[in-house]
Amino acid sequence: MATEKEWWRGSVTYQIYPRSFMDSNADGVGDLKGITARLDHVASLDVDAIWLSPIFPSPMKDMGYDVSDYTDIDPCFGTMADFDAMVARAHELGLKVIIDQVLSHASDQHAFFIESKSSRDNPKADWFVWANPNHDGTPPNNWLSIFGGPAWSWDSRRKQYYLHNFLKEQPDWNLHNPDVQDYLLGVMRFWLERGVDGFRLDTVNFYMHDQLLRNNAANHLPWAQQAHRPFEMQYNLFSRNQPENLAFLERIRALLDEYDARTTVGEVGDTHFAIELMGQYTSGKRLHMAYSFELLGPNYSPEFFRSRITEFWRKAPEGWPCWAFSNHDVPRHMTRWKEFGADHDALARQAAAVLLAFQGSVCIYQGEELGQTDTALEYHELTDPEAINFWPEALGRDGARTPMVWEAGASNGGFSEANATWLPVKPPQAARAVDTQGGADSVLNFYRRMLALRRAEADLRVGGMVFLDLPDPILGFTRGEGLVCAYNLSPEAVACDIKGALEPLLSQDITLTDGQISFGPNGFVIARKRAA
């Protein structure tokens, strides 16, 4: 079993998107007091930790991922006293607190960037990535921004370009500069001293860039030319994933090791080497955990899950993954995978039973425990720059960020008493409110049962995982020495032979006979092996 120091190993973290969790002051935006008021709900799930997306002062060009002050709270979320009260209440409830840290880039309103762009010889001149133009005035290389256009913007005072892998309002820190590293480590120390239990590290593989500024090649993968973002048409060999990143991750780990029972989880975004990077970044004295977008796409098949998880453990036997099916950056999995379910709630329960049985740690996103779906938004309702820039081919991230729903019959689903909220609450989402899910078979109560089982069974938290040779569409694996998990990942009834007698611990629409399991649509079983 994991020790207290390693509480994160096999843990389950609940992601809170603060703007959308609970509004305490009727301004239409969620806040820290609102989070504190609703922590009992999170604790009732029996998760280990909460993760908060950014709450720092920001112009909100990218909803807080453009930080202008790393050691304060944005007024829209409350005060530092509100933060301290939230941490205290979480700890009372047995919940660890993980907060986002955006170390790859800042806001262009950050005081150090304002100083950096004032001249080429000021004390912060090389704290961000600056480069001279080509002789024809074009940017120094062909790197592209994720949100569209070049990854370089011109500054007329310095007569140089600055690098931004995201919005032009999000200049990249020059992490090759040890003074920048020291500053950002100091920021992390500030929050550790404030009592946080760890950090979710945004875009962790973007920290370093190729100092020679070599051009990226074309993406050779067959889907690349159909991508809606030009960024994905490049093989981003030089704009991210640099080997110098590893030494900085080791500095982060050394800082965390000065404190008791703290953790890090890094977000790895890559189209070519995500699994390899997850392993590399969590091996040795680097990050504790890493997650990627590998399980956040359209695939819901036995072969896909086998391939991704097997590849991780093959390439990183000493590493540690954190798996997720949904987050604030992708469509919710109950929208992505609806074709695989004959019944919405049955599919939602099955997805929970799959994710929460995987070897590794797990993150679930607010509303996932309700079987929540994406909200269909009109263009005038959008706030996400990705959606606005690529509409209508890409719907962006707003659909997964609409407010949490607490009471189906209340204004704005019980999220806020404001006349209008920052993103709207619509009837399909309100219909899945917490107060509608009191039934024994509700998605919410299933999450509670599944999470209780994961906590009770050491094999589900930290046991090894071996896949079974079962026919599609059945996914099967063992956990530890004593558990068998089997799932029909389809909306059709199927059956398969299975060796050994089983004692079901949690199941849905299955029949066990000697040597065979019959599955109804989206049926599954998590069972203990019976002694021969």
Query: Parallel, antiparallel, or unpaired: how do β-strands 12-16 and 49-52 relate?
Result: parallel
Residue 98's beta-bridge partner residues? 51, 198
Domain for residue 143, yes or no?
no
The Cα–Cα gap between 305 and 468 comes to 12
> Could you tell me if 331 and 252 lie in one domain?
yes
Domain for residue 22, yes or no?
yes
> Could you tell me if 227 and 325 lie in one domain?
yes
Domain for residue 164, yes or no?
no
Q: What is the mean pLDDT of the chain?
A: 96
Expressed as residue numbers, the domain containing 485 is: 465-529
> Could you tell me if 490 and 514 lie in one domain?
yes
Q: How many domains does the chain have?
A: 2
CB contact at 8 A, 184 and 103: yes
240 Cβ contact partners less than 8 Å away, ≥ 6 residues apart: 165, 205, 206, 208, 209, 270
Rounded mean pLDDT, 185-190: 98
CB contact at 8 A, 218 and 235: yes
Residue 2 has pLDDT above 70, yes or no: no
Confidence (pLDDT) at 1: 47
Confidence (pLDDT) at 286: 97
Rounded mean pLDDT, 342-369: 98
**pLDDT band per the 50, 70, 90 thresholds, residue 225:** confident
Structure tokens at 525: 């079983």
In this prediction, what percent of the chain has a pLDDT beyond 90?
92
CATH number of the domain that residue 525 is part of? 2.60.40.1180
Count of other CB atoms within 10 angstroms of residue 187: 18
Residue 80 has pLDDT above 90, yes or no: yes
Q: Which of 451, 473, 500 is the last residue of a domain?
A: 451
Top-confidence residue, 227 or 76: 76
Residue 485's beta-bridge partner residues? 477, 526
Domain for residue 110, yes or no?
no
Domain for residue 525, yes or no?
yes
The Cα–Cα gap between 28 and 34 comes to 11
Domain for residue 171, yes or no?
no
> Could you tell me if 491 and 442 lie in one domain?
no
Query: Parallel, antiparallel, or unpaired: how do β-strands 160-163 and 130-131 relate?
Result: antiparallel
Q: What is the pLDDT of residues 92-120, one digit of tens each?
A: 999 999 999 999 999 999 999 999 999 99
Confidence (pLDDT) at 350: 98
Q: What is the pLDDT of residues 17-75, one digit of tens each?
A: 999 999 999 999 999 999 999 999 999 999 999 999 999 999 999 999 999 999 999 99
> Could you tell me if 282 and 205 lie in one domain?
yes
Domain for residue 119, yes or no?
no
Q: Which of 451, 480, 502 is the last residue of a domain?
A: 451
Nearest Cα neighbor of 266 from 210, 206, 328, 346 is 206
- The amino acid sitting at 46 is D
> Could you tell me if 416 and 520 lie in one domain?
no
Q: What is the pLDDT of residues 283-294, one digit of tens each?
A: 999 999 999 999
CATH number of the domain that residue 182 is part of? 3.20.20.80
Nearest Cα neighbor of 323 from 298, 354, 355 is 355
Residue 482 has pLDDT above 70, yes or no: yes
Domain for residue 337, yes or no?
yes
Nearest Cα neighbor of 385 from 60, 90, 79, 155 is 60
CB contact at 8 A, 270 and 241: yes
Residue 475's beta-bridge partner residues? 487
Structure tokens at 196: 């946080």
> Could you tell me if 313 and 209 lie in one domain?
yes
Active-site residue set = 202, 258
Residue 501 has pLDDT above 90, yes or no: no
> Could you tell me if 446 and 470 lie in one domain?
no
Per the confidence metrics, is the pTM higher than 0.85? yes
CB contact at 8 A, 128 and 172: yes
> Could you tell me if 276 and 210 lie in one domain?
yes
> Could you tell me if 403 and 333 lie in one domain?
yes
Alpha helices per DSSP H over 421-516? 427-430, 443-456, 458-462
> Could you tell me if 188 and 259 lie in one domain?
yes
Q: Which of 425, 451, 477 is the last residue of a domain?
A: 451
